[in-house]
Structure 1
Amino acid sequence: MKKILTLFACAALLGTACTDDANDDGNRHRTYEVAVQLVYPEGSELTATEGVEVRMTNSSTGTVTTAATDAAGIASFTLTEGIYESTATDRRSVDGYTYTLNALQSNIVISSSTWSEGMTVSLNLVASRAGQILIKELYTGGCQKDDGSGTYQFDKYMVVYNNSDQTARIRNFCVGMTGPYNANASINNYVDGRLVYADAGYTPSICAFWYLAKELVLEPYASASIALCGAIDHTVTYTNSVDLSHVDYCTYDPEVFTNTSYYPAPSEAIPSENYLKATFYGMGNAWPVSVVGPGMFIFSTGDEDPHAWGQSVDNRYYFPGKENNQVYACAKIPNEWILDAVEIFGADNVAESLPRFSTELENGYAVLTNYQGYSIYRNVDREATEALAENEGKIVYGYALGTTDYKGAQSTDPSGIDAEASIRNGAHVVYLDTNHSGNDFHQRARASLKE
């Protein structure tokens, strides 16, 4: 999920003429000690740090001089007279987002007639924020039983992914589900054709949400699998299902949700510290992820305690006409906390379905044909993936796991890249993130955890 914001800052360049030095041509040129101070947005978590590269480019000669900032955000140069362009780029990862801050200032004149101690040059520092952690895959539609006697739906999972080249560290990582459970439900979130909370700055999380008590850490371009129910090997009973006995994390809180069909005791291979716990404010003995088409999202409460926050009645939301009915109780999740969201419509009821996310978060929908063992899988950003120098010779093309969608057309990854095969081949995959599930995802014929 990408969000763009503009931050304004300035950089102070302090110069004092110091010496006349000889250069390679034997001539003497006056040089100046120039300090470049990067100033970060007031009140932001993005403060000065050591090691940010600052570049000073002589506009006449093209000579580039670089220096790294110290802990106070100051880079020091010794420069000859001339006209310079100053640039700097700082990249940070904070609670599941990546921030890129770029600074550019041209026509900096350094000469005895124009430069004096204490001069400052203001820089507009533009920062872009992108979701560092994405939902890579959702498997929620279930599968056919081996003997054809019916369907099986207690094997749901999610895969999240670090879509960046920086380590992700997320405090109070959470998984939520917006309502109604199915996008075609008769519960009305709309008034005069408009989502009632479209401009409210929050998204309702129905029934409960799950939180991880420890920090979620993901290395660059790494995945983490999360069993949403049944952290066991389901293929022992149904070969069409998936083995969730070796997932990285699972939802399991038997003191809150007692339904053992959804939550059998997890596999011993999953450490108990990797169990996500529930903050519950609705009704029911399980967290009923839709097999038709859920609206799923991941978020971080940051400094807020997720359980206490979720239990607070001040943060409660009810569907219109269902006020104070606990069956329809939701928590208001601030949109600024949401790292990624995926809207899914069921293939049999697309025409009757309505979006459950505001356009700030999501502008489209993916389509799921349930009970076929299919998953909703994120498309590869081909240009960005091919641009990584380390991927040379490692990308696998000829992706062949697309399916026929509800219109009879092919649903597949338009990049043609087989993401999972490429990852196994050592490639770093960059996935699409346009905030439009219809563009960002396709229906995969075989859940990736079956490979």
Structure 2
Amino acid sequence: MKNIKFLFLLIASGVYLSGCMKDLKTDEFTDDAISSTITVTVNMPEGYNYTTEGLPVYFVDPSSGLEFCDTTNASGVATIRVPHGAYIATTETKHSAAGGVVYIFNGTSEKIRVAPNDPKSASSKIDLNVSKAGQIVLKEIYYGGCMNPATGKSYSKDQYFILYNNSGEVAYLDSLCLAVVDPYNAPSSGKSSNWVKPNSTELRDSIPVSGIGWMFPGTGNQHPLQPGEQVVISLNAINHLTISSTSVNLGIQGYWAAYDPLLTKAQSTPNAGVNLMTGFWKVGTATSWVVSTLSPAIFLYSMGGKTPTQFIADTYTWNPGYATNRNFDCLMVDKNLIIDGVECFRNVTDSKRLRPEIDNGFAMVDGGGQGQSVHRRIDAQATAAAGGRIVYMDTNNSSNDFEKRTTASLVGVN
């Protein structure tokens, strides 16, 4: 029987786990009356022959916060004894290929329930998904706002995103699209997203754009982003320090605004020198772009060479949760067009909106009005290999890649 390696919950501890941490090992779990054995088999996607041996598999019970880990054997099988509960198993790995391509493999099992009246063992599988590490990543998301000392209330009109060229080659922002996922807040209380496959809890192979579709203007090479450079995008591109001394200045020349004078007339008119993104699609009657202050999911994507008109025609669909209400309709973006995505939760028991090959984890702040952000961790090894140019972690798992920052990075930047 294997020793159990008990791991504190990733988000609570703030520790990045690159594998099963041997210094957090408890005595062997031997109480058969309150435990069961779980066996999980990890499978590579069709067409990929990389080994599944030696992968850390994490078993998490979101309700209790317990997390355990085991490593797969030569057959790609992980087996562990755990207390009774409802567990989700996850794993991930990366492999480099010719031409500098980095493949990211990750996956999540269905919920695995083990209870006193069930058999003493349960089995499941993780069918790995594959994606490639992207050039442009979401570096920071500041969504919960800050506390305004003048009013004693939360101030949240200062939301922003930072995009970063994480590669060693020039990237171009032209036609890159930005969106929030439907629903605006992560489903809670055991509910799943409306966007699941028939008779399944598995998310669809396309991601729903909610509210407004935004894209960078340009014909292909008008907006270069050099290696290690970043761009700031906000909803209200003004100096928020004039409203709250704890906020940020988003009205700086060269920043970008998700703003359109007709589509988002309730948002602040951007300061002079701020660039405007293009709103190419809108649904509903809202006069501003809504980004959750509690648990947004943000993603970047490409239209795959289509014009906005053709893309809308090909992807427009009714929201299955609001079959008779056209205000909640969405654009469905194929997972293969997703460049990067980050899932934010308000509670570890929330349900996912982004597929595992886009984000196999989640990031969190402590709540609204805290002045906190979620920010990528630096990949020290990759940064050293790049000669000191900062390279951020990108495993398509926000639980590993992101950390909570007590102060957003743009605080103090003027």
Range of TM-score over shorter length: 0.5 to 0.7
How far off is 1:320 after superposition?
A: 2.9
Q: Secondary structure at the match of 2:382?
A: helix
Q: Which residue of 1 aligns with 2:305?
A: 303
- Structure 2 residue 129 is matched with structure 1 residue 132: no
Q: Secondary structure at the match of 2:410?
A: helix
Q: Secondary structure at the match of 2:345?
A: strand
How far off is 1:431 after superposition?
A: 0.6
Q: Would the aligned equivalents of 2:283 and 2:328 in 1 still touch at CA under 8 Å?
A: no
How far off is 1:188 after superposition?
A: 4.4
Q: Which residue of 2 aligns with 1:386?
A: 384
Q: Structure 2 counterpart of 1:299, which letter? A: Y
Q: Structure 2 counterpart of 1:205, which letter? A: V
CA distance in 2, matches of 1:289, 1:175: 12
CA distance in 2, matches of 1:225, 1:233: 14
Question: Kindly, what percent of the aligned residue pairs are identical?
Answer: 31
CA distance in 2, matches of 1:280, 1:378: 30
Aligned alpha-carbon RMSD (Å): 2.9
Q: Structure 1 counterpart of 2:176, which letter? A: F
Q: How does 1:196-345 map to 2 (within 5 A)?
A: 198=203, 200-214=204-218, 215=220, 216-227=223-234, 229-246=235-252, 248-259=255-266, 263-271=267-275, 274-310=276-312, 312=313, 314-345=314-345
Q: Secondary structure at the match of 1:438?
A: helix
How far off is 1:90 after superposition?
A: 3.9
CA distance in 2, matches of 1:207, 1:437: 24
How far off is 1:286 after superposition?
A: 1.3
CA distance in 1, matches of 2:309, 2:398: 29
Structure 1 residues 213, 192: closer, same or farther in 2, change over 3 A? closer
Q: Which residue of 1 aligns with 2:390?
A: 429
Structure 1 residues 89, 358: closer, same or farther in 2, change over 3 A? closer
Q: Would the aligned equivalents of 1:231 and 1:245 in 2 still touch at CA under 8 Å?
A: yes
Q: Which runs of 5+ in 2 are unaligned?
A: 1-43, 49-96, 104-129
CA distance in 2, matches of 1:212, 1:157: 16
Q: Would the aligned equivalents of 1:143 and 1:151 in 2 still touch at CA under 8 Å?
A: yes
CA distance in 2, matches of 1:326, 1:180: 15
Q: Which residue of 2 aligns with 1:364?
A: 361
Structure 1 residues 6, 192: closer, same or farther in 2, change over 3 A? closer
Q: Would the aligned equivalents of 1:171 and 1:301 in 2 still touch at CA under 8 Å?
A: no
Q: Which of the pair is proportionally richer in strand?
A: 1
Q: Which residue of 1 aligns with 2:26?
A: none
How far off is 1:324 after superposition?
A: 4.1
How far off is 1:317 after superposition?
A: 3.2
What per-residue deviation string (whole Å, max 9, x for no partner) do you get for residues 380-432 of structure 1? 111111223x32xxxxxxxxxxxxxxxxxxxxxxxxxxxxxxxxxxxx11111
Structure 1 residues 432, 187: closer, same or farther in 2, change over 3 A? closer
How far off is 1:181 after superposition?
A: 0.6
Q: Secondary structure at the match of 1:431?
A: coil
CA distance in 2, matches of 1:330, 1:302: 18
How far off is 1:359 after superposition?
A: 1.6
The number of residues matched between the two structures is 288
- Aligned to 2:170, which of 147, 162, 167? 167
Q: Structure 2 counterpart of 1:166, which letter? A: E
Q: Secondary structure at the match of 1:203?
A: strand
Q: Secondary structure at the match of 1:131?
A: coil
Structure 1 residues 158, 4: closer, same or farther in 2, change over 3 A? farther
Q: Would the aligned equivalents of 1:6 and 1:128 in 2 still touch at CA under 8 Å?
A: no
Q: Would the aligned equivalents of 2:164 and 2:230 in 1 still touch at CA under 8 Å?
A: yes
Structure 1 residues 383, 5: closer, same or farther in 2, change over 3 A? farther
Q: Would the aligned equivalents of 1:4 and 1:129 in 2 still touch at CA under 8 Å?
A: no
- Aligned to 1:153, which of 156, 160, 176? 156
How far off is 1:284 after superposition?
A: 1.4
Q: Which residue of 1 aligns with 2:41?
A: none
Q: Secondary structure at the match of 1:386?
A: helix
Q: Secondary structure at the match of 2:250?
A: coil
Structure 1 residues 99, 443: closer, same or farther in 2, change over 3 A? closer
CA distance in 2, matches of 1:367, 1:449: 18
Structure 1 residues 151, 159: closer, same or farther in 2, change over 3 A? same
How far off is 1:276 after superposition?
A: 3.3
Q: Secondary structure at the match of 1:258?
A: coil
Structure 1 residues 128, 187: closer, same or farther in 2, change over 3 A? closer
CA distance in 2, matches of 1:382, 1:297: 25
The structure whose Rg is larger is: 1
How far off is 1:307 after superposition?
A: 4.8
Q: Which runs of 5+ in 1 are unaligned?
A: 8-87, 92-97, 101-126, 392-427
How far off is 1:4 after superposition?
A: 9.8
Q: Would the aligned equivalents of 2:192 and 2:351 in 1 still touch at CA under 8 Å?
A: no
Q: Structure 2 counterpart of 1:281, which letter? A: V
